Amino acid sequence: MFAILSDLLPTIKSGSVIEIGILSSQKVVVESERARIIGFLRDGLKSNSPSLSIEIVKQNNTLQKPFTATDKMKLMIEKNPILGELKAKLGLDLD
């Protein structure tokens, strides 16, 4: 459940409605846990008003998280090219 809910950030809609985006393949899991999620939100926010809105989003390949050290390094170098220079100067190998 943590992996599903951590992929996309929730947004607050119209006051007490919290909207989460999920993939269509995750809908059954989230719907089955809906009551627990709402209970968690109500306890954490100390309010009885939060409600949950679920939106199905299209899968975007750019949202996939890198798993290997090499993939993580490539992503970090894309965001900050100086890391690539530092890696080369230090002669680091992530394989």
Residue 47 structure tokens: 């309010």
Predicted confidence at residue 35, as pLDDT, reads 92
Domain boundaries, the chain: 2-59, 65-95
Query: What is the spatial distance between Cα 52 and Cα 49, in angstroms, rounded to a whole number?
Result: 10
Quick check: 91 pLDDT over 60?
yes
Instruction: Report if pTM > 0.75.
Output: no
Q: What pLDDT, in 10s, does the model give residues 25-73?
A: 888 888 999 999 899 988 988 888 888 888 888 766 545 677 788 888 8
More confident call, 13 vs 67: 13
Q: At what angle do helices 69-79 and 82-90 cross, to 10 degrees?
A: 130
